[in-house]
Amino acid sequence: MNRQGRPTAAIGGASEHELSTFSGHRGLDHEEPLLFEIGRDDHCGVDFPEVQVSDTHLGGLRRQGPVGLPGLSEPEVVRHFVRLSRKNYAIDTGLYPLGSCTMKHNPRLNEK
């Protein structure tokens, strides 16, 4: 779909720094810009040929201005959502104390 090469490395965004804790686990990154803040207006992720559409096909419904979507490639969008997924705290990303080793269910049935 693209007619010209584009860099696949991360451009901008929040990937310049990697948060970590003293134990070596990844920290939670709460600062993630919006796609509209990352994207640029000067390029598009997909190249489409210009289409000549007459007003008779669309009636009065032809768009008057630009669409206003962020100019991001597919790898940039995937990186954005992967960074958002790191905001979810999980067992494999850090300490997750469940308390199951010390907090047992002790019913009061046998207590006096």
Dist CA 75 CA 78 (whole Å): 5
Residue 14 in tokens: 């929040």
In the chain, what are the domain boundaries? 1-112
Q: Which residues pair with 26 in a beta bridge?
A: 20
DSSP symbols for 57-97: HHTT----S-----B--HHHHHHHHHHHHTTS--GGGS---
Per-residue pLDDT at 14: 47
Residues of the chain with pLDDT under 50: 13-15
pTM, two decimals, is 0.49
- pLDDT tens-digit map of 86-102: 777 666 666 666 666 65
- pLDDT tens-digit map of 23-36: 666 655 567 888 88
Q: DSSP assignment, residue 56?
A: H
What is the longest distance spanned by two Cα atoms in the chain?
Answer: 89
Per-residue pLDDT at 1: 52
Please identify which residue in the block is written with the tokens 């962020």.
70
**Contact between residue 52 and residue 78 where contact means Cβ atoms under 8 Å apart:** no
